[in-house]
A and B are shown apart, each in its own frame.
Chain A
């Protein structure tokens, strides 16, 4: 069928079952936007390209489908960069389509020209520059395929302006053949057997689960393994929700702000099984002392993750769907009781740690404390909401105090730690999950980094609830300054004359300020159950710390405790 390059892009989106695109028009994509207009293709217009990419990312994380965003050349494309890097670090499947100046103008420092392919090379799974319309269908087919398969990630397709107008006889390729890209779905069965042998021997085995479980949709299999064996499980930030927080074998998050029980267990375990994790420095603390008493098993689909940070004694490559299914088969060879007998003393040890030093804070405080806010939100939503955070103290409090029940219910910028992620990602998440309660928890710092998207949320009447924990400081920065920089609060104060409630209302999101402990439940409950978007600004003290805390570079059991 004859059509223009722009129409071909839309046809490709249709073939890939893309429900909606997040984009922002501009010179180099005008032809594409004309085609979107004529095709009445579902499109959401955030107020900043960074909003578009984070929204596409949030959409992808909630749905598991590929999120799509569009931006124009030059500044439009460069505004995507933070979002692309965010998606890359957290393996989120996103396809970013950018316009490029016309082929004849490339390389001449033309108006709104930027080498976005060169710029995004280190932060994309793959990227393309399309200069010939004939390549367009094949490139887009590959882009979607690469973004969602194997270890997912962002793919950028840069398309020269004249390609959108050029004519093509459109045929969408049925398959993708890439000699250099063959994700390992089924690994070596011997590695599973080896792991099983080790599991049977271990006295203190520990599962450490991460975002890979969510990405591979294999949380359910993991839950079965955990409930059959009773082997304790801890999680990375990205793994929260894979095993419900109220599961008795779950000891929560480990790492810099992990639980006491979780970090102690990691220090003492004799067999650590990392499942879809990448042993980030925020998890390991002092690397060579991490799980020093343990044999380490690493399950991952990406061979480059194994032995990158932590050296694995056994590697289990392959899709977790495959490897965990095989492991489940093996562990079922022994009865629940046999496993129980084997790990009971170890469970007891973890429970003691948990009882000894649970996550806690000053519950008698007269002021509203952030931990109370998160606990209240958790109670109101009974763990059924989709929680999106920004980055900083509130992110850690949310990770610690929200009672997660489901995978894909906690969206956060874990790897890159992108301030400004929360609001646009919540927007995208709500588009992807229209029937769910989507709640964005953010701080007063990150809020300002993409608060323009309140306008988008209001205009689309998306029922996103924003809980703005306002401590008038860059909380995490101030916490480090308090602990490690002699209380020199260098430029971390955000005391302002601005009024967040008015700002929110000016953009069309009804808002309320909350500073009395007695009103906490009532105000939050109302905001969360009301229809339409709401913002609740909660005034919290500026010097509350996130605890426990493992100082950067310290061993995991060297926690600063609190409460």
Chain B
């Protein structure tokens, strides 16, 4: 089962190395990892999507990551009421006769066209993983040139910050 972990870490050099090193050394199955600044300048938030076979495996991931000195807190957002989003940029072939159809698809998915030229366009799409997968699947027929995805970020609903949970 997939779990989404919010990992709050000190914003210090080497933290990402420590985390990625640990993940590879302990052979954890990581699906995505996304890091960025937060509301506190000395804190970075890393969202990790991890595949764990059972509760023991997940417990190991959390405990081992928690052991890293620069890891402040880990919150498992999987069971919680939370918003999960990922952003994707998709460069797709857009010959003139396909453009109308493509614009239609973009509208249905509430995506945006952020760049167009004679042959291609870049579509920006935000949403849950499945939505992005679905759109990519549809666009395949038109010829996808490249895809870049940020990896998932997530946040609990309700008034509290993850660090207070």
CB distance from A94 to the nearest CB of B (A): 16
Selected interface stretch from A28-36, A301-309, A494-502, A523-531: A301-309
- Asked if A180 and B13 sit within 8 Å, CB to CB, the answer is no
B66 to chain A, nearest CB (A): 7
B11 to chain A, nearest CB (A): 12
B21 touches A121 (CB 8 A): yes
Q: Mark B36-71, 1 if CB is under 8 A from A, else 0.
A: 000000000000000000001001100110111111
Whether the pair B22, A180 counts as a contact (CB closer than 8 A) is no
Residues on the B chain within 8 Å of A127, using CB: 14
Given contacts A126-B69, A180-B70, A181-B69, contact A304 B64 (CB under 8 A): yes
Taking CB atoms, residues of chain B closer than 8 Å to A117 are 14
Q: Which residue of the partner chain, among A121, A178, A302, contacts B17 with CB atoms under 8 Å?
A: A121
**Are B69 and A125 interface neighbours, CB within 8 A?**
yes
Interchain CB contact under 8 A, A302 and B56: no
Interface assignment of B72: CB less than 8 Å from any CB of chain A = yes
CB–CB A304/B66 < 8 A: yes
* A118 on the B face (CB < 8 A): yes
Given contacts A146-B69, A307-B56, contact A180 B10 (CB under 8 A): yes
Chain A 169-192 interface residues, beta-carbon cutoff 8 Å to B: 178-181
CA–CA, A178 to B18, complex, Å?
Answer: 16
A122 neighbours in B (Cβ, 8 Å): 21-22, 25
A231 to chain B, nearest CB (A): 28
B42 to chain A: closest residue by CB: A179
Is the CB of B5 closer than 8 A to any CB of chain A?
no
Over the window 109-136 of chain A, the binary record of Cβ atoms lying under 8 Å from chain B Cβ atoms (1 yes, 0 no) is: 0000000011001100111010000000
Contacts of B70 in A (CB 8 A): 180
Residue of B nearest to A178 (CB): B69
User: Chain A residues with Cβ under 8 A from B73's Cβ?
Assistant: 180
Q: Could you tell me the distance between the alpha carbons of A454 and B19 in the complex, rounded to whole angstroms?
A: 41
Q: Is B72 a contact of A303 with CB atoms below 8 Å? A: no
Residue from B21, B56, B66, B67 whose CB has the most chain A CB atoms within 10 Å:
B67
B59 A307 Cβ-Cβ under 8 A:
yes
Instruction: Name the B residues within 8 Å of A307 (CB-CB).
Output: 56, 59-60
Q: For B88, what are the chain A residues with a Cβ–Cβ distance below 8 Å?
A: none
Pairwise interchain contact B63-A303, C-beta atoms closer than 8 A? yes
Partner of B60, one of A118, A180, A181, A308: A308
Report yes or no: A180 in contact with B72, Cβ–Cβ below 8 A. Answer: yes
Of chain B, the residue at the smallest CB distance from A311 is B56
On whether A121 and B18 interact (CB within 8 A), knowing A129-B13, A180-B9, A180-B70, the answer reads yes
Evaluate contact between B60 and A304: CB separation under 8 angstroms.
yes
Whole-angstrom CA separation of A23 from B130 in the bound complex:
57
| A118 and B72 alpha carbons, distance in the complex (Å) | 21
Select one of A129, A180, A306, A311 contacting B68, CB under 8 A. A180
Q: Which residues of A contact B10 (CB under 8 A)?
A: 179-180
A311 CA / B54 CA spacing, docked (Å): 12
Q: Which residue of A lies closest to B57 (CB)?
A: A307
With the chains together, A127 CA to B15 CA distance in Å? 11
Q: Which residues of B contact A121 (CB under 8 A)?
A: 14, 17-18, 21
- Which among A179, A308, A311 has the greatest number of chain B C-beta atoms within 10 A? A179
Q: Is the CB of A129 within 8 A of B14?
A: yes
A183 to chain B, nearest CB (A): 10
Q: Which residues of B contact A304 (CB under 8 A)?
A: 60, 63-64, 66-67
Residues on B with beta carbons closer than 8 Å to the beta carbon of A146:
69
What residue of chain A has the Cβ atom nearest to residue B64's Cβ? A304
For B1-34 the 0/1 string (1 means CB < 8 A from A) is 0000000011001100110011001000000000
A127 to B68, CA, bound (A): 10
A118–B9 touching, CB < 8 Å: no
Complex contacts, A181 vs chain B, CB 8 Å = 69
Give the docked Cα–Cα distance between A127 and B14 (Å).
9
Residue interface bits A284-306, CB-to-B below 8 A is 1, else 0 = 00000000000000000011101
Residues of B close to A126: CB separation below 8 A? 68-69
Per-residue B-contact encoding for A52-87, CB less than 8 Å = 1, 0 else: 000000000000000000000000000000000000
How many angstroms between the C-alpha atoms of A432 and B69 in the bound complex?
Answer: 29
Taking a contact as CB atoms closer than 8 A, the residue among B17, B25, B59, B67 that contacts A118 in the complex is B17
Shortest A520–chain B CB gap in Å is 46
Whole-angstrom CA separation of A200 from B40 in the bound complex: 51
With both chains docked as a complex, state the minimum distance between the C-beta of B61 and any C-beta of chain A, in angstroms: 10
* Docked CA distance A125–B69 (Å): 8
Smallest beta-carbon distance A61→chain B, Å: 22
Q: Which of B63-85 contact A (CB under 8 A)?
A: 63-64, 66-73
| C-alpha spacing A127/B69, complex, angstroms | 9
How far, in whole Å, are A38 and B71 apart by their CA atoms in the complex?
40
A178 contact set on B, CB distance < 8 A? 69
Tell me, rounded to whole Å, the shortest Cβ–Cβ distance linking B75 to chain A: 14
Please determine whether A179 and B72 come into contact, CB atoms closer than 8 angstroms.
yes
Q: Which residues of chain A have C-beta atoms less than 8 A from B17's C-beta?
A: 118, 121
Residues of chain B contacted by A311 (CB below 8 angstroms):
56
Q: Shortest distance in angstroms between B30's beta carbon and chain A's nearest beta carbon?
A: 16
Q: Is B71 touching A180 in the complex (CB atoms < 8 A)?
A: yes
Tell me which residues across on chain B come within 8 A of A302, comparing CB atoms: 67
Shortest CB-to-CB span from B93 to chain A, Å, is 41
Least Cβ–Cβ distance between A222 and chain B, in angstroms: 25
Q: Which residue of B lies closest to A146 (CB)?
A: B69
Cα A146 to Cα B21 in complex, Å, equals 20
- The smallest C-beta distance from A215 to any residue of chain B, in angstroms, reads 16
Name the distance in Å between B152's Cβ and chain A's nearest Cβ. Answer: 23
Find chain B residues with CB under 8 A from A308 CB.
Answer: 60
Residues of chain B lying within 8 A (CB to CB) of residue A125 = 69
**How far does the Cβ of A472 sit from chain B's closest Cβ, in whole Å?**
37
- In the complex the two chains form, what is the Cα distance from A129 to B14 in whole Å? 9
CA–CA, A127 to B12, complex, Å? 12
Q: Can you list 18 A-B contacts (CB < 8 A)? A: A121-B21, A122-B21, A122-B22, A122-B25, A127-B14, A129-B14, A146-B69, A180-B68, A180-B70, A180-B71, A181-B69, A302-B67, A303-B63, A304-B63, A304-B67, A307-B56, A307-B59, A308-B60
Kindly list 18 other residue pairs between chains A and B, CB separation below 8 angstroms, not including A121-B14, A121-B21: A117-B14, A118-B17, A121-B18, A122-B21, A122-B22, A122-B25, A129-B13, A146-B69, A178-B69, A179-B10, A180-B9, A181-B69, A304-B60, A304-B66, A304-B67, A306-B63, A307-B56, A307-B60
Which 4 residue pairs spanning A and B have beta carbons closest together? A304-B63, A126-B69, A180-B72, A179-B72
